[in-house]
Structure 1
Amino acid sequence: MSSAEPVADGVTRADRLTPEEITDVLALAAAAGDTDGADPLDEHVLLRLRDPDAPAVHLTARAEDGTLTGYAHLDTTDPAGGIGVELVVHPAYRRRGTGRALARGVLAAAGGPLRAWAHGDHPSAAALAVDLGFARARVLWQLRRSLAAPVDEPRLPEGVALRAFRPGVDDADWLALNARAFASHPEQGRWTADDLRVRLAEPWFDPAGFLLAVDESTGQLLGFHWTKVHERPGSARMGEVYVLGVDPSAHRGGLGRALTAAGLAYLRDRRGLDRVMLYVDESNAPAVALYERTGFLRWSAHVNYQLG
């Protein structure tokens, strides 16, 4: 680690991790995800782990033999809006005070309000949050459905066509559409060209599965369904409704439902998948209703806690 320093009992702080330490963190996260049924670090954190220039604070806890027993990631990109926190303890080292020590380290390292995600909404995370004075502020549902069940035929509004995303050509127009579609969303609506670039470079990216709805007469982007396929050794492949958005000017015309159906058909027919998941804010009642009408059911919850 660079500039490593102790911040709490058995917890060390650094601004950057070595490649070996990143490997340890990913192994710890995989072990916790397999045990808990929910990955403890979201995609945003995993991408930042691989970016040496991403501003972040890394807290690590290790056993006497050097085994990584716990990790906390502090995203310091927007300290005024709230430092993003994700924390994970290895399943074999739980109930030994590691999580509490990491949490104390987070409080010592942070210089502003905190936003901490508890993936899977585990009771131990809720208890720790209450003890430390965090308030439950936001819930993100993971929904799932079988692709063996019937999928509606996409019924696009008149004058609207579907085509695949063109990297390097559609980037700016898509970012503008994404910002309009998610203007009130705390994360998605703030995507930058760099946020898009790193995802287009990911091994899972497939432009054929990034569907754009366009006005046939003008070529204007009206909506999109970006799909993703999760492939991890030892686990069944699963599709994801990665991001689905519709321009506010095209609401109430059935485009969201048509895009959902088109993406599900792509994952089933072109990628050969039999199940799919997505994430949606509990408070986004129209989106929840759309997905439930499309056959999705609630699978798990991810809770955001805030302090300050």
Structure 2
Amino acid sequence: MDNDQVEHVTGPLAVADAEAVERLARAAEHVDGRPALSEQPLLRLTQDDAPVHHLLVRAEDDLAGYAQLDLGAPGAASVEVVVHPFARRHGVGTTLVAVARDTARTAGADGIRVWAEGGDPAAQGLAARLGLEPVRELVLMSRDLTSGTLPTGPVPLPDGVAVRRFVVGQDEDALLRVNARAFDWHPEQGRMSLADLRARQTEPWFDAADILLLEEGDALVAFVWLKLVQGDDAGELYVVAVDPDAQGRGLGTVTTALALRHLADAGLAQATLWTEADNVRAVATYGRAGFTTASSRVQLGDVPPA
């Protein structure tokens, strides 16, 4: 297909188009057995100030494909793509990625990085056609909550540290400050804004009681945010953050233990989390807590010349 068949939208999508993207993502997930788009692009479909471009390929009565280009981070721009199962093998995905790359370079980005499920043959074929190489990997880790050793009794806290639940309208600034400091190296998580946080607070799964804050005096030193979706038997360690000034005191282990207790008390059978494959410290911490790697997502990108 031709590049001029791709419709380019900046700013929030119209409600009808956002709903069409959601239908497209559901259709792809139904066939593939895994989410077609991650949470962030879905939240940004109608977000006013999101630094993204929307690329759409329309079919006769719906969407054949969609890509979201994130230009908010320095360096290479991040891209997520979904193609309707009935429109695959017709060049839709390749064309969307090619247009995203051209748009990113015009905007001054150092090429693109496209997310794909690890080992996905279609993603590997697209990468080969466009000269993309694996540049980053996320791993999904999980552990059973119905067997093995779980924390019993109160989770021991370092001297002077107390734990409490998040309060909406009071704790947003402190959480965002610690999140930004803990993830200043992370291209997505470290950029979470108040608008991003507010968007999550409107999601059906959000519950302030699922965010546990660790404080030393009046200062937030760490937090763990759990994501519990009604009807799922697994709960996610959505964000685990420790302020850099408080690292080295075992707070990562403490927050993980608090999270497992919280999920077990909620009656869930499994705990999951995503982490960078090369984050050796985090992978080791979760491994000691009983987590093992279940699957991965690979980011395929333009590699700068040496």
The verdict on a shared fold, with TM-score over 0.5 as the criterion, is: yes
CA–CA separation in structure 2 for the residues paired with 1:192 and 1:51: 12
SS in 1 for 2:72: coil
CA–CA separation in structure 2 for the residues paired with 1:172 and 1:243: 16
Aligned-residue Cα RMSD (Å) equals: 2.2
AA at the equivalent of 1:175: L
- Give the direction of change, closer, same or farther, for the CA distance of 1:56–1:252 in structure 2 (3 Å limit): closer
Bigger shift: residues 284-293 or 159-168: 159-168
Give CA deviations for 1:212-266 in whole Å, capped at 9, x if unaligned: 1112xx23212111101134xxx73431100001122332332211211111211
Give the corresponding residue for 2:77: 83
Q: Of residues 121, 135, 138 in structure 1, which corresponds to 2:136?
A: 138
Q: Confirm or deny: 8 A CA contact 1:137 1:305 kept in the other structure.
A: yes
Q: Of residues 41, 48, 53 in structure 2, which corresponds to 1:45?
A: 41
SS in 1 for 2:44: helix
Bigger shift: residues 6-15 or 174-183: 6-15
> 1:210, CA displacement in angstroms?
0.2
Q: Confirm or deny: 8 A CA contact 2:2 2:95 kept in the other structure.
A: no
Give the corresponding residue for 2:151: 152
CA–CA separation in structure 2 for the residues paired with 1:49 and 1:227: 24
Give the corresponding residue for 1:198: 199
Q: Confirm or deny: 8 A CA contact 1:182 1:188 kept in the other structure.
A: yes
Give CA deviations for 1:113-143 in whole Å, capped at 9, x if unaligned: 2122113441211221122122211101111
AA at the equivalent of 1:152: P
Q: After TM superposition, what 4+ stretches of structure 1 lie above 4 angstroms from structure 2?
A: none
- Give the direction of change, closer, same or farther, for the CA distance of 1:95–1:174 in structure 2 (3 Å limit): same
Give CA deviations for 1:81-117 in whole Å, capped at 9, x if unaligned: 3322111112233223222222233234332321221
CA–CA separation in structure 2 for the residues paired with 1:228 and 1:19: 26
Q: Of residues 76, 97, 101 in structure 2, which corresponds to 1:103?
A: 97
Give the corresponding residue for 1:3: none
Give the corresponding residue for 1:276: 271
AA at the equivalent of 1:88: V
Asked if 1:242 corresponds to 2:242, the answer is: no
Aligned residues: 295
AA at the equivalent of 1:194: A
Q: Of residues 125, 128, 141 in structure 1, which corresponds to 2:126?
A: 128
Asked if 1:184 corresponds to 2:185, the answer is: yes
Give the corresponding residue for 1:173: 174
Instruction: Give TM-score scaled by structure 1 length.
Output: 0.87
CA–CA separation in structure 1 for the residues paired with 2:54 and 2:246: 43
Give CA deviations for 1:156-175 in whole Å, capped at 9, x if unaligned: 22222210012222222222
- Give the direction of change, closer, same or farther, for the CA distance of 1:296–1:36 in structure 2 (3 Å limit): farther
CA–CA separation in structure 2 for the residues paired with 1:23 and 1:120: 28
Give the corresponding residue for 2:251: 255
Give the corresponding residue for 2:57: 61
Instruction: Give TM-score scaled by structure 2 length.
Output: 0.88
SS in 2 for 1:126: helix
SS in 2 for 1:17: coil
CA–CA separation in structure 2 for the residues paired with 1:211 and 1:32: 35
CA–CA separation in structure 2 for the residues paired with 1:298 and 1:121: 15
- Give the direction of change, closer, same or farther, for the CA distance of 1:189–1:54 in structure 2 (3 Å limit): closer
- Give the direction of change, closer, same or farther, for the CA distance of 1:52–1:239 in structure 2 (3 Å limit): same
Q: Percent identity?
A: 41
CA–CA separation in structure 1 for the residues paired with 2:203 and 2:134: 32
Give the corresponding residue for 1:71: 66
Bigger shift: residues 84-93 or 6-15: 6-15
Q: Of residues 265, 277, 295 in structure 2, which corresponds to 1:300?
A: 295
CA–CA separation in structure 2 for the residues paired with 1:287 and 1:260: 11
> 1:183, CA displacement in angstroms?
2.5
CA–CA separation in structure 2 for the residues paired with 1:116 and 1:151: 37
CA–CA separation in structure 2 for the residues paired with 1:126 and 1:170: 43
> 1:50, CA displacement in angstroms?
2.7
AA at the equivalent of 1:101: T
